[in-house]
A and B are shown apart, each in its own frame.
Chain A
Amino acid sequence: MNLNDGDLMGGIYHPHETVLLKCIYRLKEQKGSAALDVKTLSKESGLNEDSVRKAALWLSNKGLVKVIVEEEKTDSLTNEGIKYSKTGLPESELYRLIAIKGPAEIRNLKGREIAIMWAKKKGWIKISNGVVELLSHPKDPYEDKHLLNDVVAGSKIPKEKLEEFKNRNLVLEKSVKKESVAITGKGSSEAELFLKAGFGPDAEIGKLTPETIKSGQWKKGLRSYDVTLSAGRLIAGKKHITTIWADKIRKIFLDMGFREASGPLVESSFWCFDALYQPQDHPSRELADTFYMKKPARSELPNAPLVNAVKTAHEKGVDGSTGWMYKWSGDIAKKPVLRTHTTAVSARSLQGLTAPAKIFCIGRAFRNETVDYKHLPEFTQVEGIVADENVTFRDLLGYLKEFYSRLGFDKIRFRPAYFPYTEMSVEPEVYFEEKKEWVELGGAGILRPEVTNPLGVDVPVLAWGLSLERPIALMTGLNDIRNFYFKNDLKLLRDTKVNV
């Protein structure tokens, strides 16, 4: 019989579907069962539970059955509850002990504090002058043990007892999802057609196996499958979304001829701030913004000429600058921090650099932030610098335009900005097609002479940086960046696109 012959709604059925549908139909006709649970269906149809679930899902997609999901609450014992269901509750044990051995001094009952508390609450014992003695005799001191066993057996126990057990963390209420399947009107008429047609799962060969090939059995005809149905997904090995994007950016830099640099996560204030001409009372250096280290408590300053050059730049200025005009302190510069930006890596790279040079860094940076959907104490920063005798402001804009266009943002504009270590300072804004608006994406500029001069660099240095998470959020719509790192929600990661 050809399954594609008109009568059967023109649909193609997996053998499990026909078996299940017929089974449900039969049970309804014979026993009047409206909705059947998966376990029963498995027993009655001969399919395993997983196959029943899948077939039911396919049938429900065709409108032939309805899958009803209900939550059922069941009570089960906790580890402690299981223990007591065997040994009896601690107060029962205590009762037995005193009943046998007579009154006991409380100091000899160390470790039985819980038992004493409950026995007292139940009115079994009293304590006078540090001595525990019996007050009354319960009908059954081991009643609670039996009740716990009733819970295991699924029998009903008094409500107040159940509440007490829950409060004592002996019983835990769990909700279990229960699925049941009911046939629809359409399903019933379809099942009648099946029965009339009389075909079943054995009519043709399903899976092609080495045996069926060898024996020639396949010649009887191979059953048609509906290739449009989902066969279920596999769990694939995959890069994390931040790696996918970091690799993309790494490739952009490498394609543009940049060299990759890296540096320490625990960094001295000197390299993180001072070498970048951030004055020592700058707000971003405050405890509220920067993680300072208790261990290690001190870092070493680099060689004296460099330290002196940086000190001079801050105090009096270099290369005709006025400087910040304050007294610079070496002790402050020695304080280790978790680097607040990868610009610290750039500063280290610049020391004694020979131009021309193009350097990039992708690395973790830290801010003492309170966590919310936009802010994390850790993020990944991307940064590029270009040092060459002939670079100009136009070249900075050129690199930015090229970089962002390769990242997927073709429309870009530049706005004046301020950073303590660059002048001209630029905030690139990219046009975000989906929202039809300009969004700020990173910062850029030409390093100030007060930065480059003490480091021994006498050519202009272009620099730009952005957080890795921001373009990811923009491009993927995953706005809550906590999902990337905290949770590493595997479902989310399994669903992310690799081709970016």
Chain B
Amino acid sequence: MAVVTFDRRDFESLLGKKLKDSDYTEKVPMIGVTTESLSSDSVSFEVFPNRPDMLSAEGFSRALKAFVGGGKKLKYPAAKVYGGIKVDKSVQNVRPYVVCAVVRNLKLTDSVLKSLIQFQEKIHETFGRKRERVAVGIHDVSKIEFPLKYAAYEPSKISFVPLDKKEKLNLAQILKKHDKGKDYGWILEGKKKYPVITDAKNNVLSFPPIINGELTRVTGKTRDLFIDVTGTSKHYISKTLNILCASLIDRNATVDAVKIDYDKSSEITPDMNYQKIKLDKDYLNGLLDADLNDNELKTILSKMGIEFSGGIALVPFYRTDVMHQIDIVEDVAISMGYEKFEPRIPKIPTMAARSELQEKCSAAREIMIGLGLEEVVSFVLTNNEKQFKMMNAPVEEAATILNPKTEDYTICRKYLTPSLMSVLSENKHNEYPQRIFEIGDCVRLSDKDTGADNVRKIAVAICHGNADINEIKSVLETFMLSYGTNYALKNSSHPSMIKGRCGDIIVGGKKIGFIGEVDPPVLQNWGLEKPVAVFEMVVE
């Protein structure tokens, strides 16, 4: 989730209204954001990813303006069309789409510039998926001669002076030497040709999604801007351009369109048409348990910047989150205020049911507690070192993590005993005797659809000066008697247990676990100085 910080005075002037501190903490969150921090100079909000239009001070204040009432609604005029940009077929396999706009008469004050830079950064990070899906370039239009060309070139064939550099670099060099190239070069990995926007004089404007050229740098004196948005999805780049244009219109600039010429088709961007969503009133009233008529809906939706007439909701072009009429229903609920909906419990006749496995585990737990054992709960995640090597057991195949962040968590456990050994080793400073048990999931590779299964197990470990196989055997015997399972023990061996003091637990002719006294070398591996006796078995 993105956190944006606005200059409070600028924000409130955009809003056309002074807000009290309490408005920020109580009212603003009801539009669906969190106020992260607040001072007399600045205010930070956490913006949910479905509302990239609120990542800019302009867009945020626009949404809030409608919501809290006040301020006049801005018109987004259609405008002159620049011609144009030719999209070459060569970009198809690299970065197929581009949309553009020209913005005129913008006063680039400090706060405008700051807001613009922050917006660009945040939209790249979130909505733009770190520039892979969407990348924005902003240029001084006075340095550009139309028409433009968007095409892909071999990395060594074209060179220009990128932003913040003094000398010409070719595309491959930029990826190696420029900070932005190092940060975003991964997006072009494996591509033979890289995308570039050039103008009529063959000057390079931009090498998207990496860096612009120094030539078209925007400064405090720039009045007219050229904006390019490139990416892998036409929908997402169009929405990004729309959000940006709306913000700049809010700053009293005018927006002109640009003609985009593909091989066989052409279009004019930005497309500032409303998105039309048919709203089924019964559906809405049913879900909200309300009885709203057209007029009421009109008023309510206007607070969210949405026009409503003739059963159709007209969603402004900068909104990106409306996919289904349910999204309009939510806007109605937010506009009315969640506090307006009286909580109610319906009468839905259903039968409660515990899962059978939980029942079994609860029964087992009751007995263990009656026996004076203390329950512990540990992680399913572990590593080969703890699960096998410290138990002096051969490493077995286990469900394994592809992308572990630390060496502590690389596999899912197959056995509980190592977890109990770990707990004992963490508790050497605490009072003995320590008689502990765990009921928990292990994971086993299997031929299930997911390739692995949960296995619920139960294990007991007893650790004190006199702990031995006899004590653990009486725990097992008492447990099995109370639980009601007939079992047998068979002398056997186990790599972690003392030879001749260990056995298999057999139920219905099948081995379901083991019991034994832990081998002193294993105790030493865990730094334990008192004997430990354990059993572990599948919950049947």
| A interface list, Cβ under 8 A from B | 235-240, 242-243, 247, 250, 253-262, 264-268, 281, 283, 287, 291-300, 302, 317, 319-326, 336, 338, 356-358, 364, 366, 368-371, 377-378, 386, 388, 390-395, 397-402, 413-418, 420, 423-426, 446, 448-450, 460, 484-491, 493-494
B509 interface residue (CB < 8 Å to A): no
Q: Specify which of A261, A395, A415 is in contact with B30 (CB 8 Å cutoff).
A: A415
Q: Once bound together, how far apart are the Cα atoms of A448 and B323, in whole Å?
A: 10
Residue of B376, B380, B431 most packed against chain A (CB within 10 A): B376
Q: Is the CB of A416 within 8 A of B450?
A: no
B residues in contact with A484, CB < 8 Å: 377
Closest to B341 in A: A394
* Complex contact A413–B339 (CB within 8 A): yes
Give every chain A residue within 8 A of B349 (Cβ-Cβ): 257, 356
Using Cβ atoms and an 8 Å threshold, which residues of chain B touch A392?
286-289
In the assembled complex, B354 has its CB within 8 A of some CB on chain A: yes
How far is B324's CA from A319's CA once the two chains are assembled, in angstroms?
8
B285's closest neighbor in chain A, by CB?
Answer: A392
A166 CB to closest chain B CB (Å) equals 19
Residues of B within 8 A of A393 (CB): 287-289, 333, 341
Which one of B137-145, B254-262, B402-410, B500-508 is at the interface?
Answer: B402-410
Known: A260-B353, A260-B355, A424-B330. A266 touches B287 (CB 8 A): no
Task: Tell me how far the C-beta of A297 lies from the nearest C-beta in chain B, rounded to whole angstroms.
Answer: 8
Q: Would you call B372 and A260 a contact (CB within 8 A)?
A: no
Contact partners of B412 in chain A: CB under 8 A: 265-266, 338
State A370–B407 Cα separation when bound (angstroms).
Answer: 12
Taking a contact as CB atoms under 8 Å apart, the answer to whether A257 and B351 are in contact is yes
In the complex, whether B136 has a CB less than 8 A from a CB of chain A is no
Interface check B399, CB cutoff 8 A: yes
Give the residue name and chain of the A residue nearest to B403 (CB): A287
Q: Judging by beta carbons under 8 Å apart, are A418 and B48 in contact?
A: yes
Q: Mark B409-444, 1 if CB is under 8 A from A, else 0.
A: 100100000000001001100110111100001010
Is the beta-carbon distance between A262 and B374 smaller than 8 angstroms? no
Q: Are B235 and A356 in contact (CB under 8 A)?
A: no
A317 touches B323 (CB 8 A): yes
Check B50 against A418 for contact (C-beta < 8 Å). Answer: yes
Q: 9 tightest CB-CB pairs across the interface, nearest first?
A: A296-B451, A418-B48, A416-B32, A266-B452, A321-B324, A397-B343, A237-B369, A392-B289, A488-B376
The CA-CA distance from A426 to B373 in the complex, in Å, is 41
Q: Is the interface of B mostly helix, strand, loop or mixed?
A: loop
> What's the least CB distance linking B33 to chain A, in Å?
8
Chain A nearest Cβ from B275, distance in angstroms? 9
A338 to B409, CA, bound (A): 12
What residue of chain B has the Cβ atom nearest to residue A300's Cβ?
A: B449
Known: A260-B354, A295-B399, A391-B346. A418 touches B49 (CB 8 A): yes
Q: Is residue B42 contacting chain A, with contact meaning CB distance below 8 A? A: no
Q: Is B233 an interface residue, CB under 8 A from the partner?
A: yes
**Are the C-beta atoms of A358 and B48 separated by less than 8 Å?**
no
Residue positions of B touching A, CB distance < 8 A: 29-32, 48-51, 126, 129, 132-133, 233, 235, 278, 286-289, 323-327, 329-330, 333-334, 338-339, 341-346, 348-355, 357-358, 362, 365, 368-381, 397-406, 409, 412, 423, 426-427, 430-431, 433-436, 441, 443, 445, 448-454
Nearest opposing residue in chain A for B442, CB measure: A265
Selected contact of B334 from candidates A239, A256, A416, A460, CB within 8 Å: A416
Contacts A392-B286, A417-B48, A486-B426 given; indicate if A449 touches B343 (C-beta within 8 A): no
Name the residue on A nearest B453 (C-beta).
A264
* Contact status B448-A398, CB under 8 Å: no
Shortest distance in angstroms between A345's beta carbon and chain B's nearest beta carbon?
A: 11
Considering only CB atoms, which chain B residue lies closest to A233 in the complex? B431
CB A205 to nearest CB in B, in angstroms, measures 32
Closest-by-CB residue of B relative to A298 is: B451
Q: How far is the CA of A321 from the CA of B325 in the complex (A)?
A: 8
If A425-B330, A490-B374 touch, whether A295 touches B30 (CB-CB below 8 Å) is no
Please, which residue of chain B has its CB at the minimum distance from the CB of A429? B29
Chain B residues, CB < 8 A from A358? 348, 350
Q: B350–A416 contact, CB under 8 A?
A: no
A321 to B321, CA, bound (A): 11
Tell me whether A489 and B427 are in contact (CB under 8 A).
Answer: yes
Q: Are A322 and B365 in contact (CB under 8 A)?
A: no
Q: Measured between C-beta atoms, what is the minimum distance from B130 to chain A in Å?
A: 9
Residues of A within 8 A of B288 (CB): 392-394
Q: For the complex, give the distance between the alpha carbons of A287 and B330 in Å.
A: 31
Using CB atoms, name the residue of chain B closest to A79: B524
A414 touches B338 (CB 8 A): yes
- Residue among A239, A287, A426, A450 with max Cβ neighbours from chain B (10 Å): A239
Q: Are B346 and A390 in contact (CB under 8 A)?
A: yes
Q: Measured between C-beta atoms, what is the minimum distance from A234 to chain B in Å?
A: 9
Query: A371 to B338, alpha carbons, bound, how many Å?
Result: 35
23 contacts between A and B (CB under 8 A): A235-B433, A258-B352, A259-B350, A260-B354, A261-B355, A264-B452, A266-B450, A287-B402, A296-B445, A321-B324, A326-B233, A366-B381, A371-B406, A378-B381, A392-B287, A393-B288, A393-B289, A397-B341, A398-B346, A416-B338, A418-B49, A423-B327, A487-B426
Complex: how many Å from CA A237 to CA B349? Answer: 38
- Report yes or no: A235 in contact with B374, Cβ–Cβ below 8 A: yes
Q: A323, B323: Cβ atoms under 8 Å?
A: yes
Min distance, Cβ B534 to any Cβ of chain A, angstroms: 16
In the complex, residue of chain A having the shortest beta-carbon distance to the beta carbon of B354? A260
Among B48, B287, B339, which residue has its beta carbon within 8 angstroms of that of A414?
A: B339
Determine the chain A residues whose CB is within 8 A of the CB of B435 once the complex forms.
235
Judging by beta carbons under 8 Å apart, are B409 and A364 in contact?
Answer: no
Q: CB-nearest residue of chain B relative to A301? A: B449
| Known contacts A266-B451, A489-B430: A391-B348 contact under CB 8 Å | yes
Name the A residues within 8 Å of B342 (CB-CB). 394, 397
CA distance A484 to B75 in the complex (A): 57
CB atoms of B452 and A485 under 8 A apart: no
Given contacts A255-B352, A293-B451, contact A377 B409 (CB under 8 A): yes
Using A394-B344, A423-B329 as known contacts, say yes or no to A364 and B441 having CB atoms under 8 A apart: yes
Known A235-B372, A292-B402, A392-B289: A450·B345 in contact at CB below 8 Å: no
| New contact pairs (11) apart from A265-B412, A395-B346, A487-B426, CB-CB < 8 Å | A235-B374, A265-B454, A281-B132, A325-B233, A366-B380, A417-B48, A424-B329, A460-B287, A486-B426, A487-B427, A490-B430
Centre residue among A295, A317, A402 by max chain B CB count within 10 A: A295
Say yes or no: B376 contacts A240, CB within 8 Å.
yes
Contacts of B329 in A (CB 8 A): 423-424
A306 to chain B minimum Cβ distance, whole angstroms, is: 12
Q: Which residues of B contact A395 (CB under 8 A)?
A: 289, 344-346
Q: Which residue of B lies closest to A376 (CB)?
A: B379
Cβ B379 vs Cβ A485 within 8 A = yes
Bound-state Cα–Cα, A371 to B365, Å: 29
